[in-house]
Structure 1
Amino acid sequence: MGHGASCGRPSEEVDFFGAAQSGDLARLAAAVSSRPSLLRRTTLFDRLSALHIAAAHGHLQVVSMALDLCVEPDVVNRHKQTALMLAAMHGRTECVRRLLDAGANILMFDSSHGRTCLHYAAYYGHSDCLRAILTAARTAPVSQSWGYARFVNVRDDTGATPLHLAARQGWRRCVHVLLENGAIVSASSGAFGFPGSTPLHLAARGGSLDCVRQLLSWGADRLQRDSVGRIPYEVALKRGHAACAALLNPSSAEPLVWPSPLKFISELEPDAKALLEAALMEANREREKRILKGAKNSLPSPSHSDDGATVSEGAEVCSICFDQECTIEVRECGHQMCAACTLALCCHAKPNPATQSQPLPTCPFCRGGITRLAVATRAKAGDDDDDEEGEGRLESPRHRRSRRSLNLGSGDGGSSSLMGSIASSIGKMGRRKTDSSELQVQVDDKP
């Protein structure tokens, strides 16, 4: 679709639309000053206003000028597309935010496919635009009248939700943003792709291993069938995507699933959530290494060190796995453990498929309920309660690990049994590298 001026217009209008396309604010201001009605004019064929053209090309100052001069933010073109839709289509995040601040309607549908601005951002892979729209949707009138969860899962004319579009195109960043904002992971499409397809079917069709990973880790059903009875595994096999088929094979081990039904998971602080997500990714990565080992033409897992987990000098070693640094703290009782062990506690019981409810996890040390987690604070030198000589000296990780092991063995049988059960469930998770690069969970827009 072109965003320039149409032929057959007076030279004054052609110059005006050309200035909007190039972002020449001075020319636009001069033209509007001499002829204010130009702001209401559109191109001949596509019916594009200056606001449409500026938003599509990312000219924030021109967009702001038009809005300040009372141009309607929801003016539509020939295909009933708003400036917000075009800005989302082209990834113009700042223009998207400016239009949202001006009150642009996020629940308008175009006439081509019945899609909203959320569909456009998801289809073209602009995760920053997705975040901006979803953030605005929480406080917009649509969240009260239509419902926020309903908006996240809004369908176009083909029955596709934004998650269907993002999964089919292979945009893993967009898939993640939609999932963490309540997108239904196993919703069936209408006529989009293939009737009855779930996002997992569509990711398998496109061979997007990253999207398959994301969907499985958020609980996508590998056994759900489309309208002709195919599971995602069969779709991946037919398309020749061996790596995706290996992960989707019903006989392969199931991945750990992000415990989204737990209320406190949605209220986590960003740093604590990043630690747990990194632990989930590492656990499933270790599982994938075993599954993909025999798969032909398999794609490599993301690069990471195979060395053991590094523990900072003076850091508290997790008393469950005796392997990683304590990074998560249970706010109610103050007990600390590593992110991998915390995740295993939360993922130990699968949610009830009928109610999506999940039993509240309990602290393995005091058996108290876990309702709030935070990033663990490192103890300062001299704070060790067991330092009877008052030397104020931190022990080495190896010394602390052996001491913790002895203390654990001397406890009551019930606690030892519990620790052994949890340690066994975590044994498959592998080791996690705790450097800063792995804690940056999905922040850029690269597919």
Structure 2
Amino acid sequence: MGQRMSCRERSESALFVAVENGDLQMIEAMVEADPTVLGMTSGYGKQSALHLAAAYGQMEVLSMLLDQFFLYTNTDALNRYKQTPLMVAAMNGKLSCVKKLIESGAFILNFDSLQGRTCLHYAAYYGHSDCLQAVLTAAQTSPVANTWGFSRFVNIRDESGATPLHLAARQGWSECVHTLLDNGALACSSTGGNGYPGSTPLHFAARGGSLECIRELLAWGADRVQPDAFGRIPYAIALKYKHQACAALLNPSSAEPLVWPLQLRNMTDLNPEAKELLEKALMETNEEREKAILNETICSVPSTSPSDAEVNDNTSEASDVELCCICFENLCTIEIKPCGHQMCAHCTLALCCHKKPDIITAVPEVPACPFCRCSIANLVAARIINSATELDISPSKPRISRKSWNSSEGSSSSFKGLSAVGSFVKIAGRSSGRVAAECNEASDKLLHMDARDSPSCHVS
């Protein structure tokens, strides 16, 4: 014979059904009749009412439990696996519930009993970048930043040694990888402890086969030749799991990618618009490198930047624009502070990347303006001026009309092959006071070579 449910079991079942369905009136009536009902847990998982509300995204129920019945609820209640409602909300991507729980005092540094993971691990593993950013924002202002330190929290490890960056890279969540790196996650962090080697996020991304994650990690300085506990580099991992395109980019014999400069990372007050332009330029430069590498294989990587035709169409809309007087190809999109000189994002990156500092022994030098040699304090997004706007232009920032540039473009194809990175690499070893003058001198030489030899002459 079956056993009948007790009154408390029926009350427990009715409470959890009401929480799942968002029945506020039923929940309020049950709690007012017996406040201890909120201490009940459901089934094998021992989920509380807060856990269920966070899992199902019942924001109104969650707010009522935290605000109206706060005396009978625990924001850090634990289920069978010692997971808090904040962890459950993070793993299910319920952003409003995550914010409400943090606002109500939920502790962000709790560890579960499964693998020793925090809410940050769960948000990264399940790819919820909005929840990830909410937890990171809260960590900057919570007591965790004062006791643990924000950088330590971002790079917190679970029982297997994996950081949130490892988990996001393994699952292929490139947006989460970018968010973590932007907040100080270490691209070369290892799962090994006490000096023993382990796997890096690049090993995890190579196993998962995510090109986007590999791009992000390489752009932030991930080491392609760092071995894991078995002596394997990421290239070998990609070959093992048959990710041919990833293996081509991770091959140590291929050209190194352009890395996000340390000087720009240390600019805490870097203008967001300027940063977005610089990140786009970095991605475009590395995509050109990827195309050259993958042309030797049968693989092809989809481009994430606009096509050349689209860029040219957008550029031609401005009849009178300022071209970068270093590369003479791109518009001036970055303005240097405090001097006010302008250059394109590609040349700005090349200015900061032409000399790679030693991270261990040397402090990265503050880059100097190539026009006046003053130290660069900050970078902001420059405004593109059209022909209808009047603006005084200094001699160091020549204003070149699009029509005149097109006419000169037909007589010389050498300028078209001159890249921003190549320009700075060629002038990096010369004296710093003659940068702008030597650029013009090099340009004249290229024009002379073009007229003397052949219109197909190309300078890389």
| Normalised TM-score (structure 2) | 0.82
CA–CA distance in structure 1, aligned partners of residues 320 and 276 of structure 2: 23
1:105 paired with 2:107, answer yes
Name 2:372's counterpart in structure 1: 366
CA, structure 1 residues 361+303, in 2 after alignment: closer, same or farther (shift >3 Å)? closer
CA–CA distance in structure 1, aligned partners of residues 330 and 390 of structure 2: 22
**Match of residue 381, structure 1, among 376, 389, 410:** 389
After TM superposition, give the deviation of residue 420 of structure 1 in Å.
7.5
CA–CA distance in structure 1, aligned partners of residues 301 and 389 of structure 2: 46
Q: Is the 8 A contact 1:190 1:197 kept in 2?
A: yes
CA–CA distance in structure 1, aligned partners of residues 119 and 61 of structure 2: 20
Matches within 5 A, 1:24-423: 24-68=23-67, 69-70=69-70, 71-190=73-192, 196-262=198-264, 265-302=267-304, 304-307=306-309, 309=312, 310-311=314-315, 312-355=318-361, 357-379=363-385, 381-385=389-393, 396-399=401-404, 415-417=436-438
Per-residue displacement from partner, 1:171-214 (whole Å, max 9, x unpaired)? 111100000000010111149xx971100011001111111111
Aligned length: 401
- Higher RCO, Cα 8 Å, sep 6+: 1
CA, structure 1 residues 414+181, in 2 after alignment: closer, same or farther (shift >3 Å)? closer
After TM superposition, give the deviation of residue 262 of structure 1 in Å.
3.8
- Letter aligned with residue 438 of structure 2: S
Name 1:436's counterpart in structure 2: none
CA–CA distance in structure 1, aligned partners of residues 27 and 368 of structure 2: 63
Greater alpha carbon shift after TM alignment, 308-317 vs 173-182 = 308-317
Per-residue displacement from partner, 1:16-63 (whole Å, max 9, x unpaired)? 111111222222122212222111211142111100000011111111
Percent identity among equivalent residues?
54
Per-residue displacement from partner, 1:213-271 (whole Å, max 9, x unpaired)? 11001100001011111111111111111100000011111111111454554321211
- Letter aligned with residue 332 of structure 1: P
SS of the residue aligned with 2:320?
A: coil
Q: Is the 8 A contact 1:79 1:112 kept in 2?
A: yes
CA, structure 1 residues 39+222, in 2 after alignment: closer, same or farther (shift >3 Å)? same
Larger radius of gyration: 2
After TM superposition, give the deviation of residue 357 of structure 1 in Å.
2.9
Name 1:408's counterpart in structure 2: none
CA–CA distance in structure 2, aligned partners of residues 315 and 356 of structure 1: 40
> Unaligned regions of 5+ residues in structure 1, if any?
1-6, 388-393, 406-411, 423-447
CA–CA distance in structure 2, aligned partners of residues 420 and 296 of structure 1: 41
Q: Is the 8 A contact 1:288 1:301 kept in 2?
A: no
CA, structure 1 residues 298+315, in 2 after alignment: closer, same or farther (shift >3 Å)? closer
CA–CA distance in structure 2, aligned partners of residues 421 and 373 of structure 1: 27
